[in-house]
Structure 1
Amino acid sequence: MNERRRLIGVVTSNKMMKTVVVEIKRTFRHPLYRKVVHETKRVKAHDELNCQVGDQVQIVESRPLSKEKTWVVESIMRHGEGETVGEGA
């Protein structure tokens, strides 16, 4: 195993080609005020596994692939119930 950072998050958008938006949630206690703080971060990740919206994925740090994309989807941890797009009524 290498020293690259690995994070777990949920895919929130897959509308781009070979790119997904992953939302990473972090909960921690504030060091001074001792209040529980919820923090959310959204990153773009390179996707060769065809992730769907709602999937829980593990992403790994990589070299810069574009201006905003420095993460790669390593594995799909759990498939989620993706949002369904209506097919004209």
Structure 2
Amino acid sequence: MATTKKTDSGKPAPKHSAARKPAAKKTAARKTAAKKPTTARKAAAPEAKAVKKTSAARSKAKAERTAPAKVPGRKERRGVVVSDAMDKTIVVRIDVAQKHERYGKVVRRSSKLHAHDERNTAGVGDLVRVVETRPLSATKRWRLLEVLEKAK
């Protein structure tokens, strides 16, 4: 039969009171263990830095890069440029003709979208092809693929 120690008052003594360590020592031990030397990472990094291109050369190289013509899963639209007042941005009007479900009349609807024109090639009245892309600004989510027909 297990017997428990009794204190002077007759109540059983707490079991783990003397076995506990101060909390300050544990946190100090954790802090020192968490810090590791980062010299191995620094040594692995390449020491020679690449020469930066000038802004003119960089923009020219960016303009020469061609995006893939057809990317699966991206929407493609044809439309007419209605504005080219902004730098590297055009506003394209997409016209859609649909037959009304109940009455059969052809209803024409249009929507405008902002498209990125890296080389500023499109002008007002041009027929263009645009493709969906990642958000480039607050309103631009399309990119100019090609100018199909120049305005007269």
For the aligned pair, the TM-score class normalised by the smaller chain equals 0.7 to 0.9
Aligned pairs, how many?
81
- Distance in 1 (alpha carbons) for counterparts of 2:84 and 2:150: 14
Correspondence for 2:142 among 71, 76, 79: 71
- Tell me the CA shift for residue 33 of structure 1: 2.3
Aligned-residue CA RMSD in angstroms? Answer: 1.0
1:51 is aligned, of 98, 115, 122, to 122
Amino acid at match of 1:16: M
Tell me the distance in 2 between the aligned counterparts of 1:41 and 1:21.
Answer: 10
User: Normalized against structure 1, the TM-score is what?
Assistant: 0.85
Structure 2 partner of 1:10: 80
Question: Of the two structures, which has the highest relative contact order with CA contacts closer than 8 Å and spacing of 6 or more?
Answer: 1
What is the percentage of aligned positions where both structures have the same residue?
40
- Name 1:29's counterpart in structure 2: 99
Identify unmatched segments of 5+ residues in structure 1.
82-89
Give runs of ≥4 in structure 1 deviating > 4 Å. Answer: none
Of Structure 1 and Structure 2, the greater strand share is in 1
User: Computing the radius of gyration over CA atoms, which structure comes out larger, 1 or 2?
Assistant: 2
> How big is each residue's C-alpha offset from its partner over 1:1-52, in whole Å with a ceiling of 9 and x where there is no partner?
4221100001010000100000110101011222210001111000024211
- The unaligned stretches of length 5 or more in structure 2 are 1-69
Larger helix share, 1 or 2: 2
